[in-house]
Amino acid sequence: MRSAKMEEVRNVIKTFSENGNTVTLAQVQKIVGVETPEDRRMVRRRVQELIERGEVERDGQYVYRYVPGREPRRYGKSYIRAWKIIRIQPPGWSKSTIVSLARVSGTIVQRYVKFLEEEGYVAKIGRDKGATLWRTTQKGQAERETPWPPLENPDAYARERAATAALCTLMLTSDLDKEYAREKIRGHLAVLNQKFSSQVENNLES
């Protein structure tokens, strides 16, 4: 199974969105290298998460564009608000309760509660009408500082992989005599040159 990381999906969309361009879901799935239906659904979920975060916008059915300046910041207010609410809730709260009270997205709460459970800050206590009910543990009640989930380990070459895929697509499908195609090719080559030329220079110096 080829599990696409969020950072990979984000970088593919960002690369294709340069100069106001768009990318399709099928292109994203192809570039990150997923093959099975389950893996393709995972990529679709990743894209949906980016839309909910405000990082990506739709430009048609299964067509997307990255929104400049909306890259994630480590210490966002969403986790702070969610933790303040979770810490003081009486036993029997649900994720939808946190979404409503903290005014954060369901995706963030889903991910955050999973992390808190793994760390022992919250625990399941039952179900009500299909919804899982939770309680904040003594460890959680005693923790005044916001517990921060770990950042994803980014692919160090995600941007370069996306640039290479875009470059291959241009070479195979575009009219290379057109200036707009050449401009895009130069842009993708610059991404590769910046990464690998600097690495060569560093290796020679060492």
pLDDT at position 186 over 70: yes
Domain count, the chain: 2
Q: In this structure, are 157 and 115 located in the same domain?
A: no
Q: In this structure, are 136 and 94 located in the same domain?
A: yes
Q: Looking at residue 94, which CATH number applies to its domain?
A: 1.10.10.10
Tokens representing 133 are 């009910």
* Phi and psi angles of residue 34, each rounded to the nearest 5 degrees, phi first: -85, 150
CA 195 to chain centre: 22
What CA–CA distance (Å, rounded) separates 133 from 120? 15
Residues 62-121: pLDDT tens digits? 999 998 877 665 556 888 999 999 999 999 999 999 999 998 888 889 989 998 998 899
Q: In this structure, are 95 and 185 located in the same domain?
A: no
Mean pLDDT rounded to a whole number for the chain: 83
Q: Is residue 147 part of a domain?
A: no
Q: Is residue 98 part of a domain?
A: yes
Tokens representing 156 are 């160090």
Domain of 171, in residue numbers? 6-71+153-205
